[in-house]
């Protein structure tokens, strides 16, 4: 979130990595050791989502939609927990809204976000293909993965819509309700993915 404050009115592109390093008390090389690009400093959640897709989506005890909802709920809980820990909830909510605005108004961040989504869809397709005994290039796991990853922008949009309308302690439930409504529309189709055949 501090990146939002540093960008200020000058915008993301005007902030140099050396300035970020100085603000954190580390060298520029150290920053790049942890974040390969400047964009990944802001959009670091995508890598965590990739890891969650590889593990949670592969859980045979969860349907694909249940797995996606579990990942989304965990990511939302991290945000709402951060909000409740802040001394000034109104300022914290404003920072979240500014964070979203920064992404939407910065072409390089939008491009990075699209690239990360493509990676997430590819990983989800691989996992779903293994679950169903198909190839990741088959149309069924491809469309299933694309549909699942579409739930992420639904959650972000719901969070932005409800952020200043409901109390912080209710935010997780209200946003999750919107996400589940969207998930119900794709659940039937994803349920038609055949389970992997034994010995395949």
Domains and CATH numbers, the chain: 1-37 (1.10.10), 43-191 (1.10.357.10)
Region 100-108: what's the mean pLDDT?
Answer: 88
- List alpha helices for 35-167, DSSP H: 38-42, 45-56, 64-85, 89-105, 107-132, 139-149, 151-162
8 Å CB contact between 179 and 158 = yes
CB 69 within 8 A of CB 177: no
Residues 139-177 pLDDT 10s:
999 999 999 999 999 999 999 999 999 999 999 999 999
Structure tokens at 197: 């055949």
Q: What confidence tier does 31 reach under pLDDT thresholds 50, 70, 90?
A: low
How far apart CA 76 and CA 72 sit, in angstroms, is 6
Give the lowest-confidence range in 44-53, 145-154, 180-189, 190-199. Answer: 190-199
* Average confidence (pLDDT) over 26-42: 72
Q: What percent of the chain has pLDDT over 70?
A: 86
Distance CA(113)–CA(44), nearest Å, equals 10
The answer to which of 30-39, 43-52, 70-79, 102-111 has the lowest mean pLDDT is 30-39
Better-scored residue on pLDDT, 100 or 190: 100
What are the phi and psi torsion angles at 141 (to 5°)?
Answer: -65, -30
């Amino acid at each position: 979130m501090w990146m939002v404050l540093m960008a200020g009115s000058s915008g993301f592109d005007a902030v140099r990595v050396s300035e970020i390093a100085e603000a954190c008390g580390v060298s520029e090389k150290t920053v790049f050791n942890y974040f390969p690009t400047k964009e990944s400093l802001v959009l670091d959640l995508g890598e965590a989502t990739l890891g969650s897709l590889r593990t949670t989506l592969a859980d045979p005890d969860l349907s694909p939609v249940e797995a996606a909802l579990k990942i989304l709920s965990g990511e939302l809980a991290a945000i709402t927990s951060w909000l409740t820990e802040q001394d000034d909830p109104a300022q914290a909510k404003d920072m979240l809204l500014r964070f979203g605005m920064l992404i939407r108004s910065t072409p390089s961040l939008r491009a990075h976000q699209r690239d990360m989504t493509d990676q997430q869809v590819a990983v989800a397709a691989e996992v779903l293909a293994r679950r169903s005994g198909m190839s990741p290039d088959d149309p069924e796991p491809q469309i299933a993965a694309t549909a699942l990853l579409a739930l992420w922008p639904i959650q972000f949009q719901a969070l932005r819509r409800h952020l200043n309308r409901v109390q912080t302690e209710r935010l997780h439930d209200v946003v999750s309700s919107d996400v589940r409504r969207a998930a119900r529309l794709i659940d039937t189709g994803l349920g038609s993915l055949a389970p992997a055949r034994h010995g395949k």
